[in-house]
Structure formats: C-alpha cells, structure tokens
Structure 1
Amino acid sequence: MRVLVLILTLSFTVTTFSQNIKFGKVSKEELEETVNPLDSTANATYLYKYRKSYFEYEQEEGFVLKTDIHERIKIYNQEGFDYATKKISLYKSNGGNEEDISNIKANTYNLVGGKVIDVKLNKSGIFESKDNKYSNEVKFTMPNIKPGCVIEYKYQITSPFWSNVDEFVFQHNIPIKKLEASFSTPEYFNFKVNTKGFLSVVPEVESKRGSIVFNNKTRSGQYTVRTTYSSSEVEFTKQISRYNLENVPALKNEPYVNSINNYRSSIKYELSFTKFPQSTVKYYSTTWEDVVNNAYKSSSFGEELKKTTYFQKDIDALIGSVSDPVKRMGLIFDFIKSQVKWNGYYGYYSGDGVRKAYKDHVGSSGDINLMLTAMLRHAGLNANPVLVSTRTHGIPLFPTREGYNYVVTWVKLPDGSVALLDATDKYSVPNVLPYRALNWQGRIVAKNGGSGLIDLYPKTKSKNSMTMMVKIDEEGTLEGSYRSIKTNHRALSFRNSYNEANKDDYLEKLENKYNGIEISDYEVKNDLDLSKPIQESYKFVKESQVDIIGDKMYFSPLFYLKTSENPFKLEKREFPVDFGYPSITSYRMIINIPEGYKIESVPESAAIGLPDNLGSFQYKVVGNGSTIQVSVASQVNQPIVSPIYYEALKKYFNTFIEKEAEQVVLTKV
C-alpha cells in the first residue's frame, strides 16, 4: 500500500530541544480551560507529550534501551475519563529477559477555591499482571478524577531488546498541544526510518560525542592480596533525532476503517545492522525476502511444518478411503477445528510446538494453522502458510519482523481453484476467513522459502436476504413474521454471536436492538451445519410504527428496519473505506393495510449507483388494493473503496436514507 502524506498546518519549533515543562508545575490556566480552543469536540487533550529513547551501556549487561515518558493530559468531561487509566505493556522473551518499569510518578490536579490541589497516585494503585507469555502489563488509574482536572505521569522503561524500538507516535484520537520526542543512537547501531501517516514530520538531526567508561578491578600477590582499580574510556559518535511539534490535530476515527493506526502519524526505527568494535557487521531483516526466509528457517515455523509423526495415524485413518482432494481438504479442516481450540494468542510461529498443541487440544493461531498446513501436505495437497497482519495490527507497510502477527493456510486444488483456510474459528469455512484476517494482502511462504502476495478479501458476496409478512391494525401496531437467509461472512458472524451466547440473553438483546419489539417462535436452522446458509425466523409484534393523524396513516415501508443514520460524517476522509467483504442486503415485504383504509400514495421507485460499479441501491414500493409490496436491495461490490470516492459514497448513503424515510400514506375510506 502506498504511504499517503498530507501536510497539515503545524507549528514546528526548531530551537534547542529541551524538556521545559516541569513535572508538577500545572497552571491555573490549564485547569480553567473548558474546551480545546482548536477542537471544541475533544473530550481531552494532551497538554504535553514527551518521550526520550536512548542507549546506555551497563558493564554487566551491555547496551540497554531506555525510554523516559512524561505526559500531561487535560480532561474536559466524563467522556474523557478513559484517559485517566494508563496501560503499559512490557515485553519479555522465552529466555527470561524482560523489560522493566521504574520511577513512576503520577498526580491529579484540580482547581479548588482558586487554588491548585494535587493528589498523588499511591504505589498501591499500581498493578502489574501477566498479559500473556510474551508481555506483562502495568496499569494504574489516576485518583480524584473530575471534569476539568489535569493528570500527569512519568516513568522510565529499561529494555534489553535494543533491536525492537517502540514506534514513535505523533498523533492520537485527541489533540496534542505540545510534543517533544528524541531518539539517540550510538554509531554501533544503524537504523532504517519508516514513516507513515498524513502529517509531514521531519526530525532535527545532530551528532554528538559520547563515551563509555569501563571500570576494572584486579587482584595480585600470593600472600598479601592487593586490589587495584583502573578505568578506561571509549569514545563514540551518537546521532540524535529530535521532534518538536505543536497543535497536532486529533485523528478522527470513522466506521469502516480496518485500523486507524494505519493512518496515524508515526515513525518506526527498524534496526538494519550493528557494527561493534573488533566485530563483523551483523545484518537484520531489511526486505520482505529476509523476513520470509527468517520465518521459514525458524525452528518454530519451517521446522514445525515438517513434523508429521504426531498426527499421521489419525489423518491416515480419516482420509484413507477418500481420494477426492476437495473432500480430503474438508475432512482435515473440520478435524482440526474439532480437535484443537484456539487460545486467543496471535502469532505466525508455533508457541510451545505443534506436537504439544495437538496433544493438549489447544494452541495459538501459529500452532493451529501450521498444523493444518502440515496435515494437508501429508494428504498430498499443495498447501502453504500465509503470513497475515490482522486488522487491529495494521497494514505491513514496511519489511519489518513485526509486520505480520498471524498465519492462515492457502491450498491450490487440482482444478486450479484456491482456498484460504483458518482453523482458529470453528464456524469458518473455506474462503470465509474470520473478519480479523481480512486485511489487504497476505504473504505466501512456499516450501523452498520463496514468497508471493495474495489478496485476502473474498470475491463472493455475503448475503442477508430478509422476507417479511406484516399486518397493520387500526392502532398502528405491526404484527407479522420475519425470515432471513445469511451466507458466507454474514453467516459466520451470526454463528459466532448466536451459538456462543445464552439463548435467552440473545433474544433479549435482539428485542432491545429494535426498541422493544416482542418476538415469539424464534427459530434458527443450520446454526451448526456449515455447509448450508443460516435460516432465522420469528413472529413479532411492534407498537407505534405508524403515525395516525386525523383520518390518515403515515409510515416508512421498512418500519424499524430502515437505515436512519449515515455512518460517514467527516467532511473529508483521507483513508479508504473498508467494508471487509462485498455484500448484498435485500428486503422483500408484503404489508397488509387495515380494513377501512385505502392507499393514497407510496414512495416513488428509485435506483442509484456508485461510480465504477462500486455499489448500488434499488428501491421499489407498489400498492395494490389492500396490500403493499416492498422490494429493496443494497449491495457493495468492492470490499475497499478509495477515499477519492468518499464524497460520492457519503451522498449515496444520504440518498438511500432519505428514500427509506419516505412514507406511505393511507386514507380512511
């Protein structure tokens, strides 16, 4: 994906970088501020955001990466209270190395009787927990939070993982008044700079001299031991990149974004190579080929694909009498889904090994789908793993080791067709990947370590076809029956929400969704038969769906199912609209009007389309005696819509919302 750059109006300061905002020195003016002067919709604002990342040499440990954080946030209202809770992830490795946090200081400030009153965060309010096997989490919630308060915290992180520098983020969901950041690296480390987002952010770079002091202690003498202390100093050059920004606008989220982080202004420092004194150059991943080769050669990836003994007897018994490749694929796919449960961990490597995951009947996405690939290969099918970045992880714009965080399976069948499989979701079927995996392109890893890109978005439309029979009584109450048929991703989404829920709770939520509709005879067919569409049906009663004024009745022919709000509200959108998959939504309704009334008018039929066949909307209402027939079909033909079509898309939604709001008029005879 091409990186888009839009230069916004920012105030850049190129004076000497310094942390001139002191911790604890919050002003009355900051506390008296009721709205952000440049963004009155903001619930909170970063008054100050400071980060300094740098390398230090520790004689026992070698180089470590340190990061100093200082943030001050103004909270305007209760909606901004979420920013009073801070969560910090600390990485750890299987080898026992882990990041450490220290020097936490945090205060909340309020204006009481014209005086600035601060309340400190107690150590008892800081909680550390094991997030997962790869990270710990430190969490604290600021005390004495009130609308209008200011919170402030600072801390330091020491990391042994100097090859993994956290992204420098320059834009958030709330505005930033002042941002200062710096990254200092010794000459022994060479980093590649990757930039993304819509802000033009250029660092001020300078070189300085630094030094490392080595302290030595030696003992000598046979009978009288003498200790001699000495020190030596090694000088080196360090490069410092500084960022100083003011009045950074908030990055506004909107519906149908795969991950807003893809468009957030940030800089990622990726280690290219190291060159230490008296040592050879050590290169790190710098191309996608390097990333793929490193994965393929890894004992937790490529080697796991070669293991077959742990499943061989089971798979041979499963497919022994089946020769059809498609049926073999289906049997193995269903077998994995029933035998190994996903533990919720992402990753394309195997965690503790596929053999253990198979034995324990639980594993990560890497365990499950590498296992699936190996089984399909054992069955004689052309199968390869596909590296994927999930929607929340973002689009892998640059070749980094962290670019992908997930894996699925690609199968090419003898007839030339291709299937994408993900056995982490027990309701998934071939070419219907879980929504989390629908994110632009994946990278196939072939048996020889080669790679190629593949589109992850489905080509077949997901359907939700609804049929209703409705009767209106003289009080304007609806009574009728509803039936829907759902396919592909619409069926997958329904099965995950319905099958995993308490049925009474599910029905109650459905009734609340439609503002108090009374549902009876609720039935779902094929909820566990993945080879067939979902069929949902029920009877219902819904009051107050008709306006009665004098001797006339007024109502929208879609009643409570009409679209009432345009999801696209931004004046201008710089990033694509991501629907996830192409779809068709259709309604067919027969409405019986009450006795003693006749049809005075119905909305005119309409057909509108998006440019370049991106989508269409068809709307038809026909009155015939005592019945009204309604036919509505809305379809999205492409999962991704370029921002150049945003105005057309926004207008398209407005048009069909207005059309669905048009009313049928009945007159008393």
Structure 2
Amino acid sequence: MRGPHPMASKDETSSLTFLLSLPGGQTEMLSCNGRHMIFTGEHLPALRPDNYVWCANDYMSSVYFELRGVDFPGSFYRSFTHTWEEIDQMLLQDEDFGAMLKMRNPYRDEMASLSLDQLPDRQNRIAAIYTFLKQKISWNGQYGLYGNEVKKAVKNGTGSNADINFILMSMLRDAQIPCYPAVMSRKDRGILPYSYPSIQKLNTFIVGIADTDSTLVFLDGSVINGYMNTLPPVLMVNRARLISETAGGRWMNLSKLGKNQIRATVRAQIHPNGQITGDRNAVYMGQYAANLRRRYYAAKDSTEYINQLETEENIKVKKFETRELNVFSPRITEFLDFEKQATVNDDLIYVSPMIFLHVSKCPFIQTERQLPLEMPYTEHILQATMLTIPEGYAVEELPKPLNLKTEDGQDIVRYNISQSGNTINVTYTFIANKLLHLATEYPTVKMFWENVAEKNNELIVLKKQ
C-alpha cells in the first residue's frame, strides 16, 4: 500500500477449488484455502495532474500485488520474483541490450579525423566524440531502452536516445574511454521501485562515462542544448541503475547533476529624465545555458530573440553578444548594452535597483495543494548591480536588506543594498537546493517565494534636491 490517504483492509479466509489439467488428458480437483482481501477507501480526493509534478500517479493511494511464484502438484515451483541484480544480468544477456554493448563502432574509420590523442584531457575527447556523433545522427524525440533500431538510425541519420547511446558507447570504447549504461524510469513515467524489482518498470537509459579514474559524467542521445551532466530534467532521476559487466550494478542519484548557475554583473547610470543606460555581463551554467540555447534556437533569428528579450525585461537592447552559444559547452557568456525607462513623477524618480528581475511574481498561486512540489533542478543566481544616481538627486527611500531561508536551510535568498556616495550597490543571491517539497510544506514554500517576488519588485526613490 502507498499513498497519502489510508485505506481500511479486511482479510478473510475462503475455500477455493481448482480443476487441474494433467498430462494425458487427465484432470484433478484441487481444494485449498485462499485469502480474500478487501481494501476500502472513503472520501478519497480526485487525483489530478498539477504543475511541478512529473507523474501524479506516484502519489495515488493504491495497493500493489506481485506474483511471487506458482507451486502446483505435479510440477516444480516456479518463481516470478527477481532481484535488481538478476535484472542486471537479464539485460546484459538480452540481444537488443547486452549484445549492443559490444557492437562495432559504425564510424570507426571516420573517427580518425578527430585526432583524439592530441586533445588535452578525457573530457575534451568525450566532447569531441559526442559533437561528431550528433553531426551524424539527430534525436527523433523518442526515448527507448533497447537497440533493435540502431542500423536503421545510422542509415536514416535519426534515432531514439537508446539508438544514439549504443553508438556513443561503441565510439567511446574505441577511444579507450570506459562507459556504462544507466537504466531508469523517466520522471514522467513514474519512480523506479526499490522493493519490487521489475524490468517492465525500465523505459530508457543514459550513458555514464569515466572522465577520470574515479568520477563519472553522464550524457544522453537526447541532449541537444546541454552538456555532460546537463541532461533534460526528465532524465535527472534519483534512482538509476548503473550496469557494469565486470562490477555488477549499483544505484545512482542523478537528481542534482551538474552546476546550474547565473553570475551577472550590471553597471548602469540613471539620468535626470529617468532613462537608465548600462551594460550587463552574465555567465550562464548548466540548465540555464541549455534553456538560453533552447529559447535562442526556437526564435526565427537573433532579431526575434532580442525582441523577446526586450519585451520580457522591458528594456531596449543596444548591443548583444554571446560566447559559446553555438558550441557544445557547459556555459554561455552574454554581453548586453541596454536602455531602460524608470518612472518619473515631478521631482521623484522610481527605480528598480535589480534592473533585471529574477522573479516578478510568485509562481505558486494555489491556496492549498494536494500533491508535493517537484522542482526540476537546483538553482543558484548571483547578481551584482551598481547604479550611479544623477547629479542633483538624493536617495529618498531605499529598500531594506533581506536574509531569508527555509526552515531546513536548503532554499536561501539574500538581498543586500547600500549607498556609497552617488553609487548604489545591490548584491542578490538566490539558492534553491531542495527538489521535493511535501504538500504539508506548501504554505511555507509559497510564503518564501512571495517574499522573494516582493523584494525583487521594491523600488528606490530618488528626489531632486
């Protein structure tokens, strides 16, 4: 039994009779005692999908049965239960899985052009191999577990993540780079159970690659905008089974893979007419870099992307440059020159000291919540802003600092603001390390984000002297 709402159970003994068909056309009557189990739930609330939940059925009040085995007269006992170690071996012996781990690299001859031995380290060699592979085969949007379509993928230049992963591993082996499949159930297909091992619960795998003798990085054929350890969040599960022919299987927690961070510096000048001019330098890491690439490639061209940026940030972009946007890299560096208009009312100027807001409104609007909150990945934002106020103006009102964290200390916001001469300095730090918030924690989480949004929207008031 599992789920947040308990069910009453009743267990009764009953008499059962079976008619067994025996060899030779004979039959035999078998009588035995059985258990009649009744589970009753009353006033159970409807279970509906919700934002910030990958698979709502994970939280359904339910009862699961598993057939342990059958033991009939005249035949041997047959067990249907497995351990995860047995499932490891079943996969390794499967011709569409284990045999594919020994497949020949279809690009063996072409790989010579990569000159891998001239690259400085193993991580650079992994990046070169993956970049080359993605030029040959694109992901078709499908996830899989078995490699029965690999030849077709090579021929057509497109395939599932499993097809691409088997080819990737063959290329890595040719480069003498150890690699292993990590099987899993995607987040949107439900959590993988420890207690009742089942091969049917597995639906895809990614590749664990030894970047050093003691550490692994993870890649998947579905990675388009990301990097090593920057996977689509649907694959960042807390239960993946890394399978090795020599070392057996072991559990891996992939939910906090990689470093997701924005580090930004904003320098701006406020003018008497309320115009703000300045620049922003920002470095996007991990999921932030992947999201920026995704949005950039989704736009028709750079002009459309900049127009969207201007609308979202309420700015006018005068200059826009990026580095590492179009390469396989864990980061993107962005340079931006901008103009923005503050509100002017007679002798007063109202300015948002953040310039670029992190959160404009709380994303959680429900008054109460039935399901937990599942955050897609950890976050870390650090922004430093330096504002020069115009000559002849003085600060009338300045927001107060804020140092707030959740009770467990995993989510933190720090907002410090100070004035030195005609310069206002703001440092903003936001850290979200907790990925699962129980439904009972929702009011606290909602209040935390409301405080974050409120602080983002506070204004400086400048008054003409």
Relative to the length of structure 1, the TM-score reads: 0.59
The 3-state SS of whatever aligns with 1:312 is coil
Q: What is the match of residue 200 of structure 1?
A: 6
Amino acid at match of 2:110: D
1:392 is aligned to: 188
> In proportion to residue count, which structure has more strand?
1
Indicate which of 236, 239, 242 corresponds to 1:438.
Answer: 236
The structure-2 alpha-carbon separation of the partners of 1:254 and 1:556, relative to structure 1 and needing over 3 Å to count, comes to: farther
Q: 1:506: which partner in 2? A: 305
Whether the 8 Å contact between 1:272 and 1:283 is mirrored in structure 2 is yes
Q: Which residue of 2 aligns with 1:262?
A: 58
1:248-297 CA deviation, whole Å, 9 max, x = no partner?
22447665444433223334454554678976655445432333222222
For the Cα contact (< 8 Å) 1:481–1:537, is it kept in 2?
yes
Alignment equivalent of 1:635, drawn from 428, 431, 446: 431
Give deviations 1:16-71, integer Å, cap 9, x for gaps: xxxxxxxxxxxxxxxxxxxxxxxxxxxxxxxxxxxxxxxxxxxxxxxxxxxxxxxx
Q: Do 1:619 and 1:633's aligned partners in 2 also have CA atoms closer than 8 Å?
A: yes
Q: Tell me the distance in 2 between the aligned counterparts of 1:463 and 1:351.
A: 38
In structure 1, distance between residues paired with 2:350 and 2:50: 33
Select between 402-411 and 595-604 the one with higher mean Cα deviation: 595-604
| Counterparts of residues 311-330 of structure 1 (less than 5 Å) | 311-315=107-111, 318=114, 321-322=117-118, 325-330=122-127
For 1:350, the aligned partner's letter is G
* 1:429 corresponding residue in structure 2: 227
How much does 1:445 deviate? 1.1
Residue equivalent to 1:331: 128
Residue from 408, 413, 422 that aligns with 2:206:
408
**Counterparts of 2:458 and 2:172, CA distance in 1:** 54
Letter in 1 for 2:217: A
Q: Structure 1 or 2: larger helix share? A: 2
1:412: how far off? 2.5
Provide the C-alpha distance between the structure 2 equivalents of 1:287 and 1:320, rounded to a whole number of angstroms: 40
Q: Is the 8 A contact 2:357 2:456 kept in 1?
A: no
Task: Return the offset for 1:396.
Answer: 0.8
Whole-Å Cα distance in 1 between the matches of residues 304 and 64 of structure 2? 45
Superposition RMSD in Å: 3.8
1:590 to 375, 383, 386: 386
TM-score (norm 2): 0.82
Structure 1 residue 348 and structure 2 residue 154: aligned? no
- 2:165 counterpart of 1:369: yes
Matched, 1:467 2:262: no
Q: Which runs of 5+ in 2 are unaligned?
A: 22-26
State which structure, 1 or 2, has the greater radius of gyration over its C-alpha atoms. Answer: 1
Gap runs ≥5 in structure 1: 1-194, 215-231
From 339, 343, 354, the equivalent of 1:546 is 343
1:607 maps onto 2:403 in alignment? yes
Aligned residues of 1:461 and 1:581 also touching (Cα < 8 A): no
Q: Does 1:536 align with 2:356?
A: no
Superposed, 1:196-235 pairs within 5 Å as 196-202=2-8
Query: Where do residues 61-72 of structure 1 align in structure 2 (5 Å cutoff)?
Result: none
Per-residue deviation, 1:486 = 0.3
In the TM superposition, 1:122-133 aligns within 5 A as: none
Report the 3-state secondary structure (helix = DSSP H, G, I; strand = E; otherwise coil) of the residue aligned with 1:392: helix
Question: Does the CA contact (< 8 Å) of 2:230 and 2:330 recur in 1?
Answer: no
Q: How many correspondences in the alignment? A: 454
Higher relative contact order (CA 8 A, sep 6+): 2
Distance (whole Å) between structure 1 residues aligned to residue 441 and residue 72 of structure 2:
52
Deviation at 1:561, TM superposition (A): 1.3
> Aligned pair 1:521/2:316, yes or no?
no
Q: Report the CA distance between 1:436 and its aligned residue.
A: 1.8
**Distance in 1 between residues matched to 2:432 and 2:118, nearest whole Å:** 39
Distance 1:344 1:580, change over 3 A: same
